[in-house]
Protein backbone atom coordinates (compact mmCIF):
# COMPACT_ATOMS: atom_id res chain seq x y z
CA UNK A 1 0.00 0.00 0.00
CA UNK A 2 1.34 3.45 -0.89
CA UNK A 3 1.89 5.79 2.07
CA UNK A 4 -0.61 8.63 2.35
CA UNK A 5 0.58 11.98 1.00
CA UNK A 6 2.65 13.60 3.80
CA UNK A 7 0.81 16.58 5.33
CA UNK A 8 3.67 18.92 4.41
CA UNK A 9 3.14 18.26 0.69
CA UNK A 10 -0.61 17.67 0.58
CA UNK A 11 -1.45 21.29 -0.12
CA UNK A 12 1.17 21.55 -2.86
CA UNK A 13 -0.22 18.39 -4.46
CA UNK A 14 -3.73 19.82 -4.38
CA UNK A 15 -2.58 23.11 -5.85
CA UNK A 16 -0.65 21.28 -8.57
CA UNK A 17 -3.06 18.53 -9.55
CA UNK A 18 -6.41 19.25 -7.90
CA UNK A 19 -8.28 17.23 -5.30
CA UNK A 20 -9.93 15.05 -7.95
CA UNK A 21 -6.61 13.73 -9.18
CA UNK A 22 -5.54 12.83 -5.65
CA UNK A 23 -8.77 11.01 -4.79
CA UNK A 24 -8.58 9.01 -8.01
CA UNK A 25 -5.12 7.83 -6.97
CA UNK A 26 -6.37 6.38 -3.69
CA UNK A 27 -7.19 2.68 -3.65
CA UNK A 28 -10.34 1.52 -1.87
CA UNK A 29 -8.22 0.11 0.95
CA UNK A 30 -6.32 3.38 1.34
CA UNK A 31 -9.55 5.37 1.48
CA UNK A 32 -10.91 3.09 4.21
CA UNK A 33 -7.66 3.21 6.18
CA UNK A 34 -7.42 7.00 5.95
CA UNK A 35 -11.04 7.45 7.03
CA UNK A 36 -10.56 5.20 10.05
CA UNK A 37 -7.30 6.93 10.97
CA UNK A 38 -8.44 10.53 10.78
CA UNK A 39 -12.24 10.42 11.05
CA UNK A 40 -14.35 10.28 14.19
CA UNK A 41 -15.87 6.82 14.56
CA UNK A 42 -19.47 8.02 14.75
CA UNK A 43 -20.41 5.84 11.76
CA UNK A 44 -19.73 2.21 11.00
CA UNK A 45 -19.71 2.08 7.19
CA UNK A 46 -20.12 -1.07 5.20
CA UNK A 47 -16.79 -2.20 3.71
CA UNK A 48 -17.20 -0.54 0.32
CA UNK A 49 -15.62 2.66 -1.02
CA UNK A 50 -17.94 4.41 -3.48
CA UNK A 51 -16.11 6.44 -6.09
CA UNK A 52 -18.78 7.14 -8.72
CA UNK A 53 -22.55 7.28 -9.08
CA UNK A 54 -25.08 7.63 -11.88
CA UNK A 55 -28.82 7.53 -11.28
CA UNK A 56 -29.57 4.51 -9.11
CA UNK A 57 -26.15 2.90 -9.68
CA UNK A 58 -22.84 3.32 -7.83
CA UNK A 59 -19.35 1.85 -8.32
CA UNK A 60 -16.42 1.15 -6.04
CA UNK A 61 -12.80 1.76 -6.94
CA UNK A 62 -12.42 -1.76 -8.33
CA UNK A 63 -15.24 -1.14 -10.79
CA UNK A 64 -17.87 -3.29 -9.07
CA UNK A 65 -21.41 -2.04 -9.69
CA UNK A 66 -24.02 -1.67 -6.95
CA UNK A 67 -27.71 -0.77 -6.97
CA UNK A 68 -28.10 1.98 -4.39
CA UNK A 69 -31.04 1.09 -2.16
CA UNK A 70 -29.98 3.36 0.70
CA UNK A 71 -30.26 6.50 -1.40
CA UNK A 72 -28.59 8.52 1.38
CA UNK A 73 -31.59 7.76 3.63
CA UNK A 74 -34.09 9.15 1.09
CA UNK A 75 -31.96 12.18 0.16
CA UNK A 76 -31.04 10.80 -3.29
CA UNK A 77 -34.54 10.88 -4.75
CA UNK A 78 -33.14 12.38 -7.95
CA UNK A 79 -30.39 9.78 -8.15
CA UNK A 80 -26.68 10.37 -8.36
CA UNK A 81 -25.81 13.47 -10.39
CA UNK A 82 -29.18 14.45 -11.83
CA UNK A 83 -28.45 16.17 -15.13
CA UNK A 84 -30.83 19.06 -14.41
CA UNK A 85 -29.45 19.65 -10.93
CA UNK A 86 -25.81 19.46 -12.03
CA UNK A 87 -26.44 21.93 -14.86
CA UNK A 88 -28.14 24.30 -12.41
CA UNK A 89 -25.10 24.11 -10.13
CA UNK A 90 -22.68 24.82 -12.98
CA UNK A 91 -24.72 27.80 -14.11
CA UNK A 92 -25.09 29.30 -10.63
CA UNK A 93 -21.49 28.94 -9.43
CA UNK A 94 -20.38 31.21 -12.26
CA UNK A 95 -22.42 34.04 -10.74
CA UNK A 96 -23.05 33.81 -6.98
CA UNK A 97 -22.87 31.13 -4.30
CA UNK A 98 -23.11 32.64 -0.81
CA UNK A 99 -23.95 36.01 0.73
CA UNK A 100 -25.60 35.12 4.09
CA UNK A 101 -29.10 36.34 4.92
CA UNK A 102 -27.69 39.78 5.75
CA UNK A 103 -28.72 40.69 2.19
CA UNK A 104 -31.54 39.94 -0.23
CA UNK A 105 -30.88 37.76 -3.26
CA UNK A 106 -33.15 36.91 -6.18
CA UNK A 107 -32.38 33.21 -5.89
CA UNK A 108 -33.48 33.02 -2.25
CA UNK A 109 -36.61 35.05 -2.98
CA UNK A 110 -37.69 32.61 -5.68
CA UNK A 111 -36.83 29.63 -3.47
CA UNK A 112 -38.99 30.91 -0.60
CA UNK A 113 -41.93 31.44 -2.96
CA UNK A 114 -41.44 28.12 -4.73
CA UNK A 115 -41.11 26.00 -1.61
CA UNK A 116 -44.09 27.66 0.09
CA UNK A 117 -46.24 27.00 -2.96
CA UNK A 118 -45.02 23.42 -3.32
CA UNK A 119 -45.79 22.70 0.34
CA UNK A 120 -49.12 24.52 0.18
CA UNK A 121 -48.17 26.75 3.10
CA UNK A 122 -47.45 30.42 3.80
CA UNK A 123 -43.89 30.97 4.96
CA UNK A 124 -40.45 29.34 4.91
CA UNK A 125 -37.45 29.50 7.23
CA UNK A 126 -34.54 28.05 5.23
CA UNK A 127 -31.88 25.95 6.92
CA UNK A 128 -29.37 23.25 5.88
CA UNK A 129 -29.99 19.92 7.59
CA UNK A 130 -33.05 18.02 8.72
CA UNK A 131 -32.06 18.36 12.37
CA UNK A 132 -31.81 22.13 11.93
CA UNK A 133 -35.28 22.19 10.40
CA UNK A 134 -36.68 20.27 13.37
CA UNK A 135 -34.88 22.53 15.86
CA UNK A 136 -36.38 25.51 14.03
CA UNK A 137 -39.87 24.05 14.40
CA UNK A 138 -39.25 23.51 18.12
CA UNK A 139 -38.21 27.15 18.60
CA UNK A 140 -41.18 28.41 16.60
CA UNK A 141 -43.61 26.25 18.59
CA UNK A 142 -42.23 27.41 21.92
CA UNK A 143 -42.30 31.10 21.04
CA UNK A 144 -45.83 30.72 19.64
CA UNK A 145 -46.89 29.07 22.91
CA UNK A 146 -45.59 31.98 24.98
CA UNK A 147 -46.55 34.89 22.75
CA UNK A 148 -49.81 33.65 21.21
CA UNK A 149 -51.29 30.83 23.29
CA UNK A 150 -50.32 32.35 26.62
CA UNK A 151 -48.38 29.48 28.17
CA UNK A 152 -46.39 30.67 31.22
CA UNK A 153 -42.75 31.39 30.41
CA UNK A 154 -40.51 28.29 30.36
CA UNK A 155 -43.47 25.94 30.94
CA UNK A 156 -44.20 24.92 27.33
CA UNK A 157 -44.33 21.19 26.56
CA UNK A 158 -43.89 19.44 23.24
CA UNK A 159 -45.29 15.92 22.92
CA UNK A 160 -43.26 13.44 20.84
CA UNK A 161 -43.46 9.70 20.11
CA UNK A 162 -41.56 6.66 21.33
CA UNK A 163 -39.31 5.29 18.60
CA UNK A 164 -38.88 8.71 17.02
CA UNK A 165 -35.91 9.91 15.01
CA UNK A 166 -35.64 13.65 14.40
CA UNK A 167 -31.87 14.17 14.27
CA UNK A 168 -28.74 14.11 16.40
CA UNK A 169 -28.54 17.42 18.26
CA UNK A 170 -28.45 17.26 22.06
CA UNK A 171 -31.99 18.65 22.33
CA UNK A 172 -33.35 16.09 19.88
CA UNK A 173 -31.57 13.02 21.24
CA UNK A 174 -32.74 14.09 24.68
CA UNK A 175 -36.31 13.12 23.77
CA UNK A 176 -35.34 9.96 21.88
CA UNK A 177 -36.38 6.61 23.34
CA UNK A 178 -33.21 4.92 22.00
CA UNK A 179 -30.69 4.55 24.86
CA UNK A 180 -27.77 4.45 22.43
CA UNK A 181 -28.56 7.93 21.15
CA UNK A 182 -28.58 9.42 24.67
CA UNK A 183 -25.94 7.67 26.78
CA UNK A 184 -23.21 10.04 27.99
CA UNK A 185 -24.66 13.08 26.17
CA UNK A 186 -26.78 14.59 28.99
CA UNK A 187 -27.99 16.70 30.64
CA UNK A 188 -30.81 17.19 28.18
CA UNK A 189 -33.25 19.95 27.37
CA UNK A 190 -36.48 19.65 29.36
CA UNK A 191 -39.97 20.26 28.04
CA UNK A 192 -40.71 17.06 26.11
CA UNK A 193 -43.16 14.26 26.83
CA UNK A 194 -43.13 10.97 24.90
CA UNK A 195 -46.15 8.79 24.07
CA UNK A 196 -46.60 5.61 21.98
CA UNK A 197 -46.58 6.17 18.21
CA UNK A 198 -49.87 5.42 16.49
CA UNK A 199 -51.96 5.92 19.64
CA UNK A 200 -54.21 8.96 19.26
CA UNK A 201 -55.85 8.38 22.65
CA UNK A 202 -52.41 8.65 24.27
CA UNK A 203 -52.05 12.11 22.75
CA UNK A 204 -55.49 13.10 23.96
CA UNK A 205 -54.54 12.08 27.52
CA UNK A 206 -51.12 13.75 27.38
CA UNK A 207 -52.27 17.23 26.31
CA UNK A 208 -52.29 19.89 29.04
CA UNK A 209 -52.90 23.66 28.95
CA UNK A 210 -49.13 24.07 28.59
CA UNK A 211 -48.84 21.84 25.51
CA UNK A 212 -47.38 23.85 22.64
CA UNK A 213 -47.16 21.19 19.94
CA UNK A 214 -47.23 17.56 18.91
CA UNK A 215 -44.13 16.60 16.88
CA UNK A 216 -44.01 13.32 14.97
CA UNK A 217 -43.14 11.60 11.72
CA UNK A 218 -46.19 10.49 9.68
CA UNK A 219 -44.28 7.23 9.18
CA UNK A 220 -41.37 6.29 11.41
CA UNK A 221 -38.66 5.71 8.82
CA UNK A 222 -35.53 5.32 10.95
CA UNK A 223 -37.69 3.50 13.48
CA UNK A 224 -38.20 0.61 11.03
CA UNK A 225 -40.77 1.84 8.47
CA UNK A 226 -43.57 1.88 11.03
CA UNK A 227 -46.84 2.90 9.36
CA UNK A 228 -49.73 3.93 11.63
CA UNK A 229 -53.27 2.60 11.19
CA UNK A 230 -55.58 4.39 8.78
CA UNK A 231 -57.27 7.36 10.41
CA UNK A 232 -54.46 8.08 12.88
CA UNK A 233 -53.09 11.14 11.10
CA UNK A 234 -56.52 12.71 10.71
CA UNK A 235 -57.42 12.04 14.34
CA UNK A 236 -54.18 13.67 15.46
CA UNK A 237 -55.13 16.77 13.44
CA UNK A 238 -58.53 16.85 15.11
CA UNK A 239 -57.06 16.55 18.63
CA UNK A 240 -54.63 19.39 17.95
CA UNK A 241 -57.44 21.57 16.60
CA UNK A 242 -59.61 20.95 19.65
CA UNK A 243 -56.75 21.57 22.10
CA UNK A 244 -55.15 24.64 20.47
CA UNK A 245 -51.96 22.65 19.95
CA UNK A 246 -49.67 22.99 16.93
CA UNK A 247 -49.24 19.93 14.73
CA UNK A 248 -45.67 19.52 13.48
CA UNK A 249 -44.91 16.80 10.95
CA UNK A 250 -41.28 15.84 10.40
CA UNK A 251 -41.24 14.98 6.69
CA UNK A 252 -37.46 15.09 6.28
CA UNK A 253 -37.32 11.40 5.24
CA UNK A 254 -40.92 10.87 4.13
CA UNK A 255 -41.42 14.07 2.16
CA UNK A 256 -41.05 15.10 -1.46
CA UNK A 257 -42.83 12.15 -3.10
CA UNK A 258 -41.00 9.34 -1.29
CA UNK A 259 -44.26 7.75 -0.12
CA UNK A 260 -46.26 8.29 -3.32
CA UNK A 261 -47.60 11.69 -2.29
CA UNK A 262 -45.81 15.01 -2.10
CA UNK A 263 -45.92 14.49 1.66
CA UNK A 264 -46.95 11.48 3.70
CA UNK A 265 -49.52 13.44 5.74
CA UNK A 266 -51.52 13.90 2.52
CA UNK A 267 -52.83 10.34 2.74
CA UNK A 268 -55.33 11.83 5.21
CA UNK A 269 -56.79 15.20 6.16
CA UNK A 270 -53.87 16.03 8.45
CA UNK A 271 -52.37 19.31 7.26
CA UNK A 272 -49.66 20.52 9.66
CA UNK A 273 -49.18 23.93 11.23
CA UNK A 274 -45.42 23.47 10.86
CA UNK A 275 -43.40 20.98 8.83
CA UNK A 276 -39.71 20.10 8.72
CA UNK A 277 -38.43 19.25 5.25
CA UNK A 278 -35.00 18.48 3.82
CA UNK A 279 -32.99 15.60 2.32
CA UNK A 280 -34.18 15.38 -1.36
CA UNK A 281 -34.67 19.16 -1.38
CA UNK A 282 -30.90 19.33 -1.96
CA UNK A 283 -31.18 17.40 -5.23
CA UNK A 284 -28.56 14.91 -4.09
CA UNK A 285 -25.73 17.44 -4.24
CA UNK A 286 -25.89 19.59 -1.09
CA UNK A 287 -27.78 20.02 2.19
CA UNK A 288 -30.94 22.15 1.95
CA UNK A 289 -33.74 22.09 4.52
CA UNK A 290 -36.46 24.32 5.90
CA UNK A 291 -39.18 24.77 8.46
CA UNK A 292 -42.37 25.72 6.66
CA UNK A 293 -45.73 26.66 8.09
CA UNK A 294 -48.69 28.92 8.64
CA UNK A 295 -48.00 32.67 8.65
CA UNK A 296 -49.39 33.24 12.15
CA UNK A 297 -46.89 30.70 13.52
CA UNK A 298 -43.76 31.49 11.50
CA UNK A 299 -44.24 35.23 11.98
CA UNK A 300 -43.46 34.93 15.69
CA UNK A 301 -39.80 35.00 14.67
CA UNK A 302 -38.32 38.49 14.79
CA UNK A 303 -34.89 39.62 13.54
CA UNK A 304 -32.21 37.98 15.67
CA UNK A 305 -34.41 35.13 16.94
CA UNK A 306 -32.88 32.53 14.65
CA UNK A 307 -30.38 32.22 11.83
CA UNK A 308 -27.93 30.18 9.78
CA UNK A 309 -24.91 31.37 7.79
CA UNK A 310 -25.55 28.93 4.94
CA UNK A 311 -29.31 28.52 5.41
CA UNK A 312 -30.97 30.14 2.42
CA UNK A 313 -27.90 30.61 0.22
CA UNK A 314 -28.20 31.37 -3.50
CA UNK A 315 -26.59 28.13 -4.69
CA UNK A 316 -28.72 25.95 -2.43
CA UNK A 317 -31.82 27.86 -3.48
CA UNK A 318 -31.20 27.18 -7.16
CA UNK A 319 -30.50 23.52 -6.44
CA UNK A 320 -33.73 23.18 -4.42
CA UNK A 321 -35.87 24.90 -7.04
CA UNK A 322 -34.44 22.65 -9.75
CA UNK A 323 -35.02 19.59 -7.57
CA UNK A 324 -38.65 20.60 -6.97
CA UNK A 325 -39.21 21.20 -10.67
CA UNK A 326 -37.85 17.76 -11.54
CA UNK A 327 -40.11 16.15 -8.94
CA UNK A 328 -43.11 17.71 -10.66
CA UNK A 329 -42.08 17.34 -14.29
CA UNK A 330 -41.11 13.69 -13.90
CA UNK A 331 -44.08 12.81 -11.63
CA UNK A 332 -41.94 11.54 -8.76
CA UNK A 333 -45.04 10.86 -6.65
CA UNK A 334 -46.53 8.59 -9.29
CA UNK A 335 -43.21 6.85 -9.91
CA UNK A 336 -42.66 6.22 -6.20
CA UNK A 337 -46.15 4.76 -5.82
CA UNK A 338 -45.88 2.49 -8.87
CA UNK A 339 -42.29 1.36 -8.34
CA UNK A 340 -42.75 0.97 -4.60
CA UNK A 341 -45.64 -1.43 -5.16
CA UNK A 342 -43.49 -3.37 -7.64
CA UNK A 343 -40.53 -3.65 -5.28
CA UNK A 344 -42.59 -4.52 -2.20
CA UNK A 345 -44.56 -7.18 -4.08
CA UNK A 346 -41.36 -8.63 -5.49
CA UNK A 347 -39.79 -8.92 -2.06
CA UNK A 348 -42.91 -10.62 -0.73
CA UNK A 349 -43.08 -12.98 -3.71
CA UNK A 350 -39.60 -14.25 -2.84
CA UNK A 351 -41.46 -16.13 -0.11
CA UNK A 352 -38.27 -16.38 1.90
CA UNK A 353 -38.41 -18.17 5.28
CA UNK A 354 -36.00 -15.50 6.51
CA UNK A 355 -38.44 -12.61 5.95
CA UNK A 356 -41.04 -11.82 8.59
CA UNK A 357 -42.76 -8.83 6.99
CA UNK A 358 -42.47 -6.23 4.23
CA UNK A 359 -43.91 -2.80 5.07
CA UNK A 360 -44.12 0.00 2.56
CA UNK A 361 -45.67 3.18 1.35
CA UNK A 362 -44.33 4.25 -2.01
CA UNK A 363 -40.57 3.75 -2.24
CA UNK A 364 -40.19 3.76 1.53
CA UNK A 365 -39.87 0.03 2.15
CA UNK A 366 -38.84 -2.00 5.17
CA UNK A 367 -38.04 -5.71 5.00
CA UNK A 368 -38.09 -7.12 8.52
CA UNK A 369 -36.19 -10.38 8.93
CA UNK A 370 -36.78 -13.24 11.36
CA UNK A 371 -35.06 -13.45 14.74
CA UNK A 372 -32.87 -16.34 13.56
CA UNK A 373 -31.31 -14.24 10.77
CA UNK A 374 -27.79 -12.96 11.32
CA UNK A 375 -28.38 -9.42 10.09
CA UNK A 376 -24.64 -8.77 9.88
CA UNK A 377 -24.28 -11.72 7.54
CA UNK A 378 -27.24 -10.56 5.45
CA UNK A 379 -25.77 -7.04 5.15
CA UNK A 380 -22.60 -8.53 3.69
CA UNK A 381 -24.47 -10.95 1.43
CA UNK A 382 -26.42 -8.00 0.02
CA UNK A 383 -23.15 -6.14 -0.52
CA UNK A 384 -21.63 -9.21 -2.19
CA UNK A 385 -24.59 -9.36 -4.56
CA UNK A 386 -24.32 -5.66 -5.37
CA UNK A 387 -27.12 -4.14 -3.26
CA UNK A 388 -26.39 -1.15 -1.02
CA UNK A 389 -28.69 -1.07 2.00
CA UNK A 390 -28.39 -1.16 5.77
CA UNK A 391 -30.35 -2.44 8.71
CA UNK A 392 -32.32 0.03 10.77
CA UNK A 393 -34.25 -0.73 13.97
CA UNK A 394 -36.40 -3.81 14.56
CA UNK A 395 -34.19 -6.01 12.33
CA UNK A 396 -35.52 -4.11 9.33
CA UNK A 397 -33.58 -3.53 6.13
CA UNK A 398 -34.56 -0.25 4.53
CA UNK A 399 -35.06 0.14 0.79
CA UNK A 400 -35.18 3.79 -0.26
CA UNK A 401 -33.62 3.81 -3.73
CA UNK A 402 -33.60 6.89 -5.93
CA UNK A 403 -37.08 7.58 -7.27
CA UNK A 404 -35.54 7.74 -10.75
CA UNK A 405 -34.73 4.02 -10.54
CA UNK A 406 -35.94 2.08 -13.60
CA UNK A 407 -38.34 -0.88 -13.59
CA UNK A 408 -35.68 -3.30 -14.76
CA UNK A 409 -33.42 -2.10 -11.95
CA UNK A 410 -36.25 -2.72 -9.46
CA UNK A 411 -36.50 -6.28 -10.80
CA UNK A 412 -32.74 -6.68 -10.50
CA UNK A 413 -32.86 -5.51 -6.86
CA UNK A 414 -35.49 -8.19 -6.16
CA UNK A 415 -33.35 -10.85 -7.84
CA UNK A 416 -30.23 -9.85 -5.91
CA UNK A 417 -32.06 -9.70 -2.58
CA UNK A 418 -33.43 -13.18 -3.28
CA UNK A 419 -29.93 -14.46 -3.98
CA UNK A 420 -28.64 -12.84 -0.79
CA UNK A 421 -31.37 -14.41 1.33
CA UNK A 422 -30.78 -17.79 -0.26
CA UNK A 423 -27.07 -17.54 0.58
CA UNK A 424 -27.66 -17.16 4.32
CA UNK A 425 -26.41 -19.84 6.67
CA UNK A 426 -29.37 -22.16 7.43
CA UNK A 427 -31.05 -21.55 10.79
Q: pLDDT for 300-314, tens place per residue?
A: 999 999 999 999 999
Is pLDDT above 90 for 63? Answer: yes
Out of 111, 165, 192, 310, the active site residue is: 165
Q: What pLDDT band is residue 394 in, cutting at 50, 70 and 90?
A: confident
Of 318, 316, 319, 321, residue with least CA distance to 100: 316
Same domain (yes/no): 258, 154? yes
The pLDDT, as a whole number, for residue 7 is 55
Residue 1 contacts residue 32 (beta carbons within 8 Å) = no
What strand order describes the sheet that includes 157-161? Answer: 123-127, 289-293, 274-277, 246-250, 211-216, 157-161, 192-195
Q: What pLDDT band is residue 408 in, cutting at 50, 70 and 90?
A: very high
Domain extent at residue 158: 84-329
Query: What are 101-127's pLDDT values in tens digits?
Result: 999 999 999 999 999 999 999 999 999
Q: Is 175 a catalytic residue?
A: no
Domain-ending residue, one of 329, 351, 373: 329
Whole-model pTM: value is: 0.96
Domain count, the chain: 2
Out of 68, 197, 279, 397, the active site residue is: 279
Same domain (yes/no): 307, 195? yes
The pLDDT, as a whole number, for residue 316 is 98
Backbone angles phi, psi at 319, to 5 degrees: -60, -45
Name the average pLDDT for the chain. 96
Domain-ending residue, one of 276, 311, 329: 329
Please check whether residue 117 lies inside any domain of the structure: yes
Same domain (yes/no): 165, 175? yes
What strand order describes the sheet that includes 391-392? Answer: 355-361, 364-369, 396-399, 391-392
Backbone angles phi, psi at 140, to 5 degrees: -60, -45
Q: Is 91 a catalytic residue?
A: no
Please check whether residue 156 lies inside any domain of the structure: yes
Same domain (yes/no): 401, 289? no
Q: What is the mean pLDDT of residues 359-375?
A: 97
CATH classification of the domain holding 373:
3.90.1150.10
Q: Is 397 a catalytic residue?
A: no
**3-state SS class at 131:** helix
List, in order, residues 6 or more apart from 268 with CB less than 8 Å away.
230, 231, 232, 233, 234, 237
Query: What are 175-187's pLDDT values in tens digits?
Result: 999 998 999 999 9
The pLDDT, as a whole number, for residue 27 is 96
Domain-ending residue, one of 314, 329, 344: 329
The pLDDT, as a whole number, for residue 393 is 86
Cα–Cα distance for residue pair 368/392, rounded to 1 Å? 9
Out of 68, 111, 192, 250, the active site residue is: 250
Please check whether residue 387 lies inside any domain of the structure: yes
The angle subtended at Cα 266 by Cα 264 and Cα 267, nearest 5°, is 80
Same domain (yes/no): 239, 220? yes
Same domain (yes/no): 301, 373? no
Same domain (yes/no): 107, 163? yes
Greatest Cα pair distance, the chain, in angstroms, is: 67
Same domain (yes/no): 207, 158? yes
The pLDDT, as a whole number, for residue 8 is 59
Q: What is the mean pLDDT of residues 6-31?
A: 89
Q: What is the sign, positive or negative, of the torsion defined by CA atoms of 306, 310, 314, 320?
A: negative
Residue 239 contacts residue 200 (beta carbons within 8 Å) = yes
DSSP 47-113: S--EEEEEBTEEEETT--EEEESSTTTTTTTT-BT-HHHHHHHHHHHTT-----TTS--HHHHHHHH
Same domain (yes/no): 315, 380? no
Of 230, 280, 223, 273, residue with least CA distance to 255: 280
Amino acid sequence: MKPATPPSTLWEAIARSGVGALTRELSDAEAVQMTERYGAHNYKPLPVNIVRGDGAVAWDGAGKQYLDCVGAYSAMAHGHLSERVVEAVKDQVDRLSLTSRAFYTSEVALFLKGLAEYCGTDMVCPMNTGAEAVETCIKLARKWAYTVKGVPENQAEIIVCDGNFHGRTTTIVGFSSEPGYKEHFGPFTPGFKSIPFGDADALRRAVTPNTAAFLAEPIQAEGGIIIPDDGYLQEIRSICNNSNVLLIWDEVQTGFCRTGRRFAWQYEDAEPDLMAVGKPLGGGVMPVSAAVGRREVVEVFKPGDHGSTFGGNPLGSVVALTALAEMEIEDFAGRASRLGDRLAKGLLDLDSPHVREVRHRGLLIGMEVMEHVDSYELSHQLLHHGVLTKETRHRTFRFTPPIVIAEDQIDEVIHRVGASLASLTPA
